[in-house]
Structure 1
């Protein structure tokens, strides 16, 4: 009888478990709105003059390579130069935004 009284007073534990998935759904919806600060900073760094120079060189190389039907040329060096410049910029700004 004591157990039945507790169930009546406190509710069925299974009812509480059924409510839990709704709470998880609400948390997932809130997380969708979060923006990765790394992606935001990368986009801003790509617009800087230093990175734009390397981005233009990469795009010129890609245009040149894609215009040829048979070539061994790749744009690896230009890609690495651009990524290095962008990540250098990001490294100076990222941790100022992390809480």
Structure 2
């Protein structure tokens, strides 16, 4: 063990495992597939549904209206909540059928 410590201290290669009888296990690099969140997939599909498209349009109209004014107290919270409610209502009916 003193020999190995001298090799490490003297700048010799760091791999001294062969001196101890250890064999390095070669790790196989496996390319992992990107996991797709089923919730995100369902949300995207539901945003294309008729009711969600309608509430999305209302939200965008509100954002345009509020953005065009310099001094307004109006915000689009109600429209945002309407859109999120419509989307999540659609997702709730579809998501658990795809979960294993």
TM-score normalised to structure 2 length: 0.72
The C-alpha deviation readout for 1:30-88, integer Å capped at 9, x for no partner, is 14x22111111101100101111111110000000001111111000000010001001
More helix as a share of residues: 1
Q: Which runs of 4+ in 1 moved over 3 A?
A: none
Q: Which protein shows a greater Rg?
A: 2
Q: Does 1:79 align with 2:80?
A: yes
Q: 2:32 aligned to 30, 37, 44, which one? A: 30
Match of 2:69 in 1: 68
Runs of 5+ in structure 2 lacking a partner? 1-20
Structure 1: runs of 5 or more not aligned: 1-10
SS at match of 1:35: coil
For these two proteins, the number of residue pairs brought into alignment is 81
Q: State the distance in 2 between where 1:69 and 1:30 align.
A: 49
**Root-mean-square deviation over aligned CA pairs:** 1.9
CA–CA distance in structure 2, aligned partners of residues 41 and 73 of structure 1: 31
Give the 3-state SS of the residue equivalent to 1:30 in structure 2.
Answer: coil
Within 2, Cα distance between the matches of 1:93 and 1:30? 27
Partner of 2:32, secondary structure, is: helix
